[in-house]
A and B are shown apart, each in its own frame.
Chain A
Amino acid sequence: MKKLHTLLFSATLLMGVAAHAQLRIDIAGVGSNQIPVAVAAFADESIAPQQVSSIIRADLERSGVFKVIDARQSISDKSNIDLAAFKASGADALVVGSVSKLADGRFDVRYRLLDTVKQGELSRMADAVAPRNTRLEAHRIADDVYEKLTGVRGIFATRITYVKQNPAARDYTLVIADADGENEQVAAHGREPIISPSWSPDGTKVAYVSFELRKPVIYVQDLVTGQRHVVANEKGNNSAPAWSPDGSKLALALSKTGNTQVFVVNADGSGMHRVSNSNGIDTEPQFSGDGQSLYFTSDRSGGPQIYKMGVNGGQATRVTFNGNYNISPRISPDGKTLAWISQRNGGFSLYAMDLASGQEQRLADGATEPSFSPNGKYIMYATKGGGRTSLAVVSVDGRIKQNLSTQAGNIREPSWGPFMK
């Protein structure tokens, strides 16, 4: 009997006393990588020219980061909301709001972001906007939702530029559009090609190359006034303009010395000086995020590869080593990732490299002319399909890929604009 008690006691000790024992559970692999968010129609939103909740819903869905749940009702920011019911529907967060008309003709757009699990408010905004800015305000709200739920600044309110062309008709247009491809406006139009547009860091100007003088010449155009000036028309080619991060300078590719080399010039065209030094082609310069280095394409070793040098020139170090044809370097805003186009197995693909480790990842096939979003999370590029060129977006980790809501025509040479105030 005593032996049995001892055994029982030892067993109990070994097994632990249930009230304080913990069952250990190991879970591996976070489930969906999409955050479920419910979006309600905004109260009275049909009085405004654009349906605010639809634009928010489309932005969040397009980001690939959210699973958007339609709340199937209109909910005002002033309502008392049964958050538990939304939590039960699987949503982590709920977007609600309202639109009302002000005496001066503007719209008062209000929104709240609510946490269904913690049952509290995560964010709110209230802005008076002109009717024509309703769409922009919806994008700003979507950016707020994105930032509050991911910790990363959103890009829905940013703009892009691209070239739309019909060469057979000798028709070329430089277009400014919203990041979702909507709201197209013409910045420049003519009968000769336009290539290599590049946004100024403050988002007010675009530099581009025009062939209207029967040779490539670089212009900088103020978007609001339409005024433009020639930044470089040296003998030979003038192309590949790229702004320094502080907007004071442009790096360019000029062939004035015979072969194409990298030069730097002040934004007003003064102070031009040569920076690269090789007997081959050096082109496509891009400033690093700190403005201290230039990445560029060079065929000094035979085929084109990507190199890096100081902004004042000097020794260049090679960055790409796989494949014989690597062009179009682009640096992420945080300076940690290089995106570029590589020709492998006969086709052109978009690659990204973690610069610290050198590890590369193929993101998209049939891609050219990449451009980073200002939050560094997405890359826009040109792609061919169905007999024409159009724009697509891929996330930097390769998981999300979309085609831009495509307008008709051949579209290429995208450049993603910066965050605007």
Chain B
Amino acid sequence: MHNLKSLAFIISTAAVLAACSSPKPLEAPKVEEKPPVAQAPAEDHSHDVRPVETGNVDPLNDPKGVLANRSVYFDFDSYAVRDDGKPVVSNHAGYLTKHTERKVLIQGNTDERGGTEYNLALGQKRAEAVRKAMSALGVSDGQMEAVSLGKEKPKATGHDESAWAENRRADIVYQ
């Protein structure tokens, strides 16, 4: 009996010392009543099969997933989400309601025509339209901020309708 207690003590001390030398923060050593398993020969895991849940990768990071599409486009002089923008809104609203710790900046843009400050406010209307649509689908206010870049950061640098159409846009930017 005495020998076993001494053995247990020595092994515990060894465990403590081992714990000390590891980079993890020091934890109180657990005194095992059972014989220490660590000293037994390694188990044979060669026939283990570990299951994987397919789709457990964060869908936000899937370049081929629907959430990769983060832009909502607008008609000229319009601040209403078009039909083709509604799936983008609902997809991201769906994600955000499931991941309430995630936050987004919704950045509205305008094409290059018009004054700097007035366009900043118009771009805001686009961001706000997307924000309201997502809010209607249950996303909490604390997760979204609607802002505008006006005409300051055009994605397309041409001076024709196709460039302008590309720039009349609100982007969902994850923080």
Contacts and interface: CB of A to CB of B under 8 A. Distances in A.
A341 B152 contact: no
Interface size class of B (residues with CB under 8 A): 20 to 34
Interface stretch (A101-109, A173-181, A208-216, A396-404): A208-216
Contacts of B107: 214-215
B167 interface: no
B100 interface: no
Contact of A253 (B117, B128, B149, B153): B117
B121 interface: yes
A327 B117 CA distance: 9
Nearest to A195: B116
Interface stretch (B22-30, B40-48, B140-148): B140-148
Nearest to B123: A237
Given A196-B116, A196-B117, A297-B117, A216 B128 contact: no
B116 A215 contact: no
Given A211-B153, A236-B147, A258 B128 contact: yes
Interface in A141-200: 167-168, 193, 195-196
A328 interface: yes
Contacts of A195: 116-117, 120, 150, 152
Looking at chain B's contact residues, is the secondary structure mostly helix, strand, loop, or mixed? mixed
Interface string A300-334: 00001000000000000000000001011000000
Interface in A196-224: 196, 211, 214-216
B78 interface: no
A299 B146 CA distance: 20
Interface string B121-161: 11011001000000000000000011111101110010000
B147 A237 contact: yes
A98 interface: no
A299 B125 CA distance: 13
Interface of B: 105, 107, 114-118, 120-122, 124-125, 128, 145-150, 152-154, 157, 173
17 contacts: A214-B147, A214-B173, A215-B105, A215-B145, A237-B120, A239-B120, A240-B120, A255-B121, A255-B146, A258-B128, A259-B125, A260-B120, A260-B121, A283-B120, A283-B121, A284-B117, A412-B116
